[in-house]
Chain A
Amino acid sequence: MSYLPYLLAAWLFLVGLYGIVTSRNLIHLAVCLTVTQSSTYVLLLAIGYRHRGTAPIFYGVPVGSRAVDPVVQALTLTDVVVSVTVIALILALALDVHRRARTVDPDEIAAFEG
């Protein structure tokens, strides 16, 4: 009985949020967002894990062998790639902010806009 992987996911989520709240740089903020998002991958994969289970790939392995859950893996793998493009969009927004406000500190931007 172990809950450590789940608690790791919860910790990653909170640490990422802390980074977002205290961030003084939009690029750093985007990285913190990816940390927060990674916590969902850890949680999904941890939930689908089965002791002594193999990967859910039955090439050279007989069907019916003990395997981990394939559904959470499918969810995670698509999101890993898609999240990269979403982060690119956020970084492009950060560039745009820098061009308009000449700063990447979220606190200064709030002051800049009144």
Chain B
Amino acid sequence: MNRNVRIAVFCVAAAGLAALLVASVLDLPAFGHYQGAYGNQLLRETVAERHTTNVVTAIVFDYRGFDTLGEEFILFASVVGVTLLLRAQKDSEDDEHVLRKAPDDMTRSDAVRIGGLVAIPVLFLLGLWVVAFGLVTPGGGFQGGVLLAGAIFVVFLAASFRAYYTLTPTEWVDFAEGAGAAAFALLGLGALLAGASYLHNFLPSGIRGTLESGGSLSFLNWATALEVTAAMLVLFSEFLERYVAPVQRPLA
């Protein structure tokens, strides 16, 4: 289709869509006047029932844990897709081969190196804290997992590709990625063994507002943190490998 025709068709369709969106938006309860029975009930009962003070985390890993299982596997499938696409284009799967071909990209700036040295432990600790206390204060496995992966990625920025790649061996990170996804699904099966329905919270709720709260919710939280951390590391590694060790183009 001609480019101008396509844009014209889009403009007509977009105008129609915009009219529908505005009409439906004006029918919503006014901003700031939320009235949802489901949310209100969870706000009232979560703390008493699960002893977790962060209601959002309780919803993610408990009340709507089955949704999160789906999200986890979207994440898992995307990461598998990326590795299938990018690894198929490499001439070798071997970590040592990649390291041998990698250029010397050691960071030369002292300021960046020292800054990284300070940032890595602080970010890593922050990540662990965000995961662990995700049941109590703002945080959780998804957010903390990204922070943990970010802390490890700073190794690449402040040191070199070789240092980063040696720190995250492909087989270990791949294993962690699968293990995180599997742990989430298997914890759901644990509920079946305990005689409850799939992904039901089958452990005691513990002490309110502490790390002991939430029952099996906190294990699902850590399984997610492992999966998200590993997923981000796999993605960093796959894209970085192409950047530092590009494959020669086949002759057309």
Contacts and interface: CB of A to CB of B under 8 A. Distances in A.
A1 B72 CA distance: 38
Contacts of A92: 81-82, 85-86, 238-239
B54 A86 contact: no
Interface in A7-36: 7, 9-10, 13-14, 17-18, 21-22
Contacts of B42: 70-71
B3 A79 contact: no
A49 interface: yes
A5 B30 CA distance: 10
A35 to B, nearest CB: 14
Nearest to B145: A81
Interface string B3-32: 100110010001001100110011011111
A96 B247 CA distance: 12
A96 B68 CA distance: 30
A68 interface: yes
Interface string B143-164: 1011000000000000000000
Dominant secondary structure at the A interface: helix
Given A82-B71, A88-B235, A14 B18 contact: yes
Assign chain B's interface to a size class: 35 or more
Contacts of B26: 3
B14 A71 contact: no
A17 B14 contact: yes
Contacts of A86: 74, 78
A77 to B, nearest CB: 6
Interface stretch (B114-122, B132-140, B168-176, B214-222): B132-140
A86 B238 CA distance: 14
A70 B43 contact: yes
Interface in A73-96: 73-75, 77-82, 84-86, 88-89, 91-93, 95-96
Contacts of B39: 48, 69-72
Interface of A: 1-7, 9-10, 13-14, 17-18, 21-22, 46-51, 53, 55-59, 63-64, 67-75, 77-82, 84-86, 88-89, 91-93, 95-96, 99, 102, 107
12 contacts: A10-B21, A14-B21, A48-B34, A71-B36, A71-B64, A77-B56, A77-B140, A81-B75, A84-B232, A89-B78, A102-B252, A107-B3
